[in-house]
């Protein structure tokens, strides 16, 4: 990201500037750490005005949340507050105070002093943010050294303490590991540890719990709440409105660069005034709600399950990642798999895909062998089993365009028809054809996830293995994608193995549920029965950790 100069705008003008004045602290309140009026961020090269007339203040011990769909300007706003709005960005404001200084006069040196010591930044995509060539311990220790937080000899212990504070198990081992050796949830927690290492006065958290399971998410929310209670200011960006409800004092709702609603968090989330805010709240899935699914047409399917696992076990050294797991998945059915990070969910997905051979047990596809096949015999069957990965950036060739990524499974079609089909697939997941020429790193996290879904659907698979398929999506697009998967299932009889840490999402889509802990299935059954009458203490613990919207906003089935 590139540092930028900020210019002073004229007096606030236009309806947005008039409608959303800067918050003014009361006479006894501490002066705000951040005070911005009429912030405008544009990218002249592309003609995009990402933020239009935003006013904002954040005081010590206060949490302000920015919510809205992908592309609404939330992340650009957050990055602008620390001088990292992006290459080619033009930033203007009539008032821009950060940490007691006039940011309108800041140069590169002043911005570097702001970052780390005054403001810690937690980005949405930990894999991009962490250096792949350095260990997690070295990444965090650099912050401690750069800002002289503790003496050199105390840094190793401080790094371990930070990892432990954000819920990283076995921190003595993790400090020596590189980012690619960690799960998505562990990478996110390591990134949070790095952001808070210098004990900043302001933490800017952009989707800080996106990759985390509910119990670790609850731990991170407690950590943020403790920081706030100690006087740290928070700016939280999240598409998870229940997370916002748990930590935020005030909420700004953004749409297409404008703030359309602002107020106390409880007021905005329980009595929204704007139609857009009401639409966002209506799209939030709930672990307690009755799922809404389209009527399913009768499917001409082979007798028996389309995919089955029997007694699967896999060990990594002395650790059993999957221990004697069995399931059956029929055409047109969704089997949800839930559990904490490290419970074996993703390893189970790799076994089902035939990417990993079990130490014991077998996987059956269409009534015949699958896990035991040599690759030359498995290859013709692969179009029948597709995957939507947790982190699409891992699975995309960064050199390829979106058009090529989506069209790769369509090689049997004529070239012209391939492009037409790619446009159709993008449209089904809510993306415009203009994205065909872009590359993965030019897309937002939500856009990349939708491209991954479009590519997985290209071969019209019989089994779709979904590993956190909507974790990076805002609630309205998330609802759209879940509805899309349900419609495809109703029309084509596609079987879904749906892995997610979001219990509301699993409840919305699943017919049956497996609950995994430490590689084993501790509970399974009908989704409604498991969610409403859990038998195992671990299942009850998971459900108790789910953040919830305030009662009035959470009412009704969604």
What tens digit of pLDDT does each residue of 440-481 get? Answer: 988 876 788 889 989 998 988 999 999 888 876 778 878 888
C-alpha distances in angstroms, 171 versus 75, 154, 174, 235? 30, 16, 5, 27
CATH 3.40.50.300 location in the chain: 307-554
Angle, vertex CA 109, rays to CA 108 and CA 111, nearest 5 = 65
The pLDDT of residue 209 is 82
Nearest in space to 126 (alpha carbons), one of 116, 136, 118, 117: 136
| Residue 9: per-residue pLDDT | 58
Residue 556 confidence class, pLDDT cut points 50, 70, 90:
very low
- The string of DSSP letters for 458-512 reads TT--SEEEEESTTTTS-HHHHHHHHHHHHHHHHHH--EEEEE-S-HHHHHHH-SE
The pTM for the full model equals 0.78
CB 344 within 8 A of CB 358: no
Q: Is the pLDDT of residue 6 over 80?
A: no
Residue 11 pLDDT level (bands cut at 50, 70, 90): very low
> Averaged over 398-413, what is the pLDDT?
90
Confidence of residue 421 (pLDDT cuts 50, 70, 90): very high
pLDDT top residue among 137 and 502: 137
| Number of Cβ within a 10 Å radius of residue 533 | 10
Strand pairing of 307-316 and 319-329?
A: antiparallel
CB 500 within 8 A of CB 339: no
Find the range with the poorest average confidence among 22-26, 142-146, 151-155, 361-365: 22-26
What is the three-class DSSP state of 283? coil
Of 188, 169, 510, 183, which Cα lies nearest the Cα of 346? 183
The pLDDT tens digits for 205-230 are: 988 887 678 887 888 888 888 889 98
**pLDDT above 80 (res 126):** no
242 contacts 228 by C-beta, under 8 angstroms: no
> Is the pLDDT assigned to residue 24 strictly greater than 60?
no
| CA dihedral of residues 9, 43, 392, 207 (deg, nearest 10) | 0
More confident residue, 222 or 541: 541
* pLDDT attached to residue 17: 36
pLDDT for position 415: 81
Q: How far apart are CA 214 and CA 222, in angstroms?
A: 12
Dihedral sign for Cα atoms in the order 110, 113, 119, 124: positive
pLDDT at residue 16 is higher than 50: no
Parallel, antiparallel or unpaired: strands 368-369 and 101-102: unpaired
Highest-confidence range of 52-66, 99-113, 219-233, by mean pLDDT?
52-66
Of 88-102, 247-261, 298-312, 330-344, the poorest mean pLDDT is in: 298-312
Neighbouring residues of 260: CB distance < 8 A, sequence distance ≥ 6: 253, 254, 274, 276, 277
Residue 370 has pLDDT above 70, yes or no: yes
- Lowest-confidence segment of 2-6, 211-215, 359-363, 530-534 by average pLDDT: 2-6
CB distance 119 to 147 below 8 Å: no
Q: What is the pLDDT of residue 296?
A: 53
Pairing of strands 385-388, 463-467: parallel
Give me 403's structure tokens.
């058009």
Q: Is the pLDDT of residue 554 over 50?
A: no
pLDDT at 513: 97
Residue 428: is its pLDDT beyond 90? no
Quote the longest CA-to-CA distance of the chain: 75
Tokens of residue 254, six digits: 């953004």
Residues 307-554: name the CATH superfamily.
P-loop containing nucleotide triphosphate hydrolases (3.40.50.300)
How far is it, in rounded angstroms, from Cα 271 to Cα 558?
17
pLDDT at 319: 86
Distance separating alpha carbons of residues 189 and 185, to the nearest angstrom: 6
User: Is the pLDDT reported for residue 69 higher than 90?
Assistant: no
Interval 381-396 mean pLDDT: 86
pLDDT the model gives residue 278 = 93
Strand order through the sheet with 463-467: 385-388, 463-467, 495-499, 334-338, 512-517, 520-526
Q: Which DSSP string corresponds to 53-118?
A: EEEEEE-TT-EEEEE--TTSSHHHHHHHTTT-S-TT-EEEESEEEETTEEGGG--HHHHHHHBTTT
The CA distance from 71 to 446, in Å, is 10
Helix axes 155-165, 184-196, angle to 10 degrees: 120
Mean pLDDT score across all residues of the chain: 86
């Amino acid at each position: 990201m590139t540092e930028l100069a900020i210019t002073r705008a004229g007096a606030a003008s236009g309806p947005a500037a008039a409608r959303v004045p800067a918050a003014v602290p009361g006479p006894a309140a501490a002066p705000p750490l951040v005070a911005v009026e009429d912030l405008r961020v544009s990218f002249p090269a592309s003609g995009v005005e990402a933020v239009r007339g935003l006013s904002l203040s954040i005081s010590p011990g206060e949490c302000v949340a920015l919510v809205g769909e992908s592309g609404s300007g939330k992340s650009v706003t957050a990055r602008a507050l620390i001088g990292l709005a992006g290459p080619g960005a033009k930033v203007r404001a009539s008032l821009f105070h950060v940490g007691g200084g006039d940011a309108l006069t800041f140069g590169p040196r002043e911005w570097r002093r702001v970052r780390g010591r005054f403001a810690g930044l937690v980005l949405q995509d930990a894999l991009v943010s962490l250096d792949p060539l350095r260990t997690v311990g070295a990444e965090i220790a650099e912050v401690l050294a750069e800002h002289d937080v503790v003496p050199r000899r105390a840094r190793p212990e401080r790094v371990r303490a930070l990892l432990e504070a954000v819920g990283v198990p076995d921190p003595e081992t993790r400090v020596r590991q590189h980012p690619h050796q960690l799960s998505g949830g562990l990478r996110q927690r390591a990134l949070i540890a790095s952001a808070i290492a210098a004990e900043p006065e302001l933490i800017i958290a952009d989707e800080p719990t996106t990759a985390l399971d509910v119990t670790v998410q609850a731990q991170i929310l407690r950590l943020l709440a403790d920081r706030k209670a100690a006087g740290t200011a928070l700016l939280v960006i999240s598409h998870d409105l229940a997370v916002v409800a748990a930590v935020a004092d005030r909420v700004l709702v953004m749409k297409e660069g404008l703030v359309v609603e602002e107020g106390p968090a409880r007021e905005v989330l329980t009595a929204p005034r704007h139609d857009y805010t009401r639409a966002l709240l209506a799209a939030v899935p709930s672990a307690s709600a009755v799922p809404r699914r389209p009527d399913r047409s009768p499917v001409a399917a082979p007798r028996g399950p389309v995919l089955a696992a029997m007694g699967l076990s896999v060990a990594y050294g002395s650790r059993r990642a999957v221990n004697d797991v069995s399931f059956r998945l029929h055409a047109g059915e969704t089997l949800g798999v839930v559990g904490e990070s490290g419970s074996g969910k993703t390893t189970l997905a790799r076994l089902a895909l035939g990417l990993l051979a079990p130490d014991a047990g077998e996987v059956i596809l269409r009534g015949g062998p699958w896990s035991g096949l040599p690759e030359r015999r498995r290859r013709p069957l692969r179009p029948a089993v597709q995957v939507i990965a947790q982190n699409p950036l891992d699975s995309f060739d960064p050199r390829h365009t979106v058009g090529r990524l989506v069209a790769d499974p369509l090689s049997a079609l004529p070239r012209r028809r391939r492009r037409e089909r790619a446009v159709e697939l993008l449209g089904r997941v809510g993306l415009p054809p203009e994205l065909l020429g872009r590359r993965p790193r030019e897309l937002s996290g939500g856009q990349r996830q939708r491209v991954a879904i479009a590519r997985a659907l290209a071969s019209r698979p019989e089994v779709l293995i979904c590993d956190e398929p909507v974790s990076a999506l805002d609630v309205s697009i998330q609802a759209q994608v879940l509805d899309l998967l349900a419609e495809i299932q109703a029309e084509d009889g596609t079987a879904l193995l749906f892995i997610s840490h979001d219990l509301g999402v699993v409840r919305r889509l699943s017919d049956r549920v497996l609950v995994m802990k430490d590689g084993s299935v501790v509970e399974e059954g009908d989704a409604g029965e498991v969610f409403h009458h859990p038998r195992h203490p671990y299942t009850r613990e998971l459900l108790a950790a789910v953040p919830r919207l305030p009662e009035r906003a959470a009412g009704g089935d969604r």
